[in-house]
Amino acid sequence: MSGDRNISKETLVQWDDDYVWHPFTPHSVYRDEKPLTVVAGEGHYLIDADGEKYLDAVGSIWCNLFGHRRDEIDDAVREQLDHIAHSTMLGNTNDRPVILAKRLLEHAPAAMDKVFYSDNGSTSVEIAMKMALQFWQQHDDGSQGQRTKFMGLANAYSGDTIGAVSVGGIDLFHSRFGPMLFETVRGPSPVTYHRPQQMSREEARRRFVDDFDRVIDAHGEELAAVVIEPGMQGAGGMITYPPGFLAHAAEKIRDAGSLLVVDEVAMGMGRSGEMFACQREGVDPDFLCVAKGLTGGYIPVAATLTTDRVYEAFLGPPEEGRTFFHGHTYTGNALGCAAALATLDIFENEDILDDVRRKEELLAARLEALWELDHVGDIRQYGLAAGIEVVADADERRSFDSAQRVGMQICTAAREKGVFLRPLGDVIVLMPPLTITDDEIDHLVGAIEFGIDAVLSG
């Protein structure tokens, strides 16, 4: 039998421990931290093998937009199975990715003209970087590919492939791989919570922007591209930027003659209240990377959007070698693109973006109450995404010892209230489905309050 559904939870747990190695998971504590054994989903809830339901408050790692088993997406995938599951996009095409490209561009910033598919967020960024490098080699400006460097900000995260890790700036995840990474230009970190005791937040924000400008001034001429997560640095700890930063950075990068890659993997697909976060600041990038929510959280499909200017530099007789030699087996997977088309239908048929903007304010109002808690140091929100940083001493902005795994303890405690959360260190992350109800927002924030109290009071 291909997959018995009557296997007991005990057996699944045993097999999980015996046979599976989990991503971003320290296995010495994995079982003690009470992982769910999900066997089904229903709307905004995950269903564990023992039948318990949990609000999926991190949208299955930030990709689930409209809940699990949405009829429209289920039906689109089922219907596609009656046609074809997958066919190659290498030198060939398929109706689903073609239609999706056209419709995706209708929602994208005006500068975007072409869609290049892949299958995860990391590759969507990797592709933008490789395209940028090759663009400068083939761009007819006499520079002959002198722009070979990439710039990323401290604390950035763009995925786990080599280019994405090289441009990433999270020491805990990235420094170990140093010997296999390439050198990048490092911009400053937008973290303003952890700052010198005497410095105001406003000063810290100004310092960040000034430092960013200085790095561009120093390296602008050698930069092939600058990679920025618009709206918020996600995996770095839900870090917001000074208001207007992206628009400022885009102008600075353009003035330096370089290219801007917006990594919309986390904040794209409606999270900001616009389809893409860069649209909230009226920014037209050179590359836009989208993954996670593109298929509503169903099937891995990613895309790198770019301009005709970039695309045209890759044209020429094949023997000139201007072709972009990059592609994956599952590039433009038809089942995934069918799910993505149904996802766009939901955006178009329901007032999802308006509703996100309304709930952004509701969530902000509800989170306000958490400032009262002794160990809440910072609350950062962007659209329908938020991070609550708990600290040992809020007056001194002093963090807990990471060995205490306080963030994880709080998330495990919140499970008692029927909420599934996964922290980033001691930052409790909220990335709920965009269709979360007002009552569920209340319940979610209440569960976090409960978790913080259970772990840290007394």
Q: Give the interface with ligand PMP as residue ranges (CB under 6 A).
A: 120-122, 125, 157-159, 229, 234-235, 263, 265-266, 291
Write out the DSSP string of 95-147: HHHHHHHHHHHHHS-TT--EEEEESSHHHHHHHHHHHHHHHHHHSSSS-TT--
Q: Which of 73, 12, 118 is nearest to 341 (CA)?
A: 73
Task: Output the smallest distance, CB 263 to ligand PMP, in A.
Answer: 5
* Nearer CB in complex with ligand PMP: 293/451: 293
Task: Output the smallest distance, CB 61 to ligand PMP, in A.
Answer: 7
Is residue 419 within 8 Å of residue 57, measured between CB atoms? yes
Structure tokens at 299: 């099937």
Rg (CA), the chain: 22
* Nearer CB in complex with ligand PMP: 125/224: 125
Task: Output the smallest distance, CB 279 to ligand PMP, in A.
Answer: 16
Task: Output the smallest distance, CB 157 to ligand PMP, in A.
Answer: 6
**Angle, nearest 10°, between helix axes 334-349 and 95-107?**
30
Helix/strand/coil (H, E, C) string of 270-281? CCCCCCCHHHHC
Task: Calculate the CA dihedral of residues 100, 102, 107, 110 and round it to 10 degrees.
Answer: 150
Residues present in the chain in total:
458
Task: Output the smallest distance, CB 65 to ligand PMP, in A.
Answer: 15
Burial category of 434 from C-beta neighbours within 10 Å (exposed 0-12, middle 13-18, buried 19 and up): buried
Residue 291, CA distances (Å) to 147, 264, 391 in order: 27, 8, 32
* Nearer CB in complex with ligand PMP: 122/258: 122
* Nearer CB in complex with ligand PMP: 159/425: 159
* Nearer CB in complex with ligand PMP: 266/436: 266
Task: Tell me whether strands 45-48 and 53-56 are parallel, antiparallel or unpaired.
Answer: antiparallel
* Nearer CB in complex with ligand PMP: 125/367: 125
Is residue 278 within 8 Å of residue 258, measured between CB atoms? no
Burial annotation 347-376 (CB, 10 A radius, 16+ → b, else e): beeeebbebbeebbeebeebbeebeebebb
The torsion angles phi and psi of 235, rounded to 5 degrees, stand at -60, -20
Task: Output the smallest distance, CB 246 to ligand PMP, in A.
Answer: 14
Task: Output the smallest distance, CB 236 to ligand PMP, in A.
Answer: 9
By Cβ distance, which residue is nearest to ligand PMP?
Answer: 121
269: phi > 0 → left, psi -120 to 50 → alpha, else beta; which? left
* Nearer CB in complex with ligand PMP: 291/370: 291
* Nearer CB in complex with ligand PMP: 227/413: 227
* Nearer CB in complex with ligand PMP: 138/233: 233
Residue 321, CA distances (Å) to 134, 135, 146, 225 in order: 11, 12, 19, 22
Task: Output the smallest distance, CB 119 to ligand PMP, in A.
Answer: 8
Task: Output the smallest distance, CB 55 to ligand PMP, in A.
Answer: 20
Task: Output the smallest distance, CB 303 to ligand PMP, in A.
Answer: 12
* Nearer CB in complex with ligand PMP: 123/134: 123
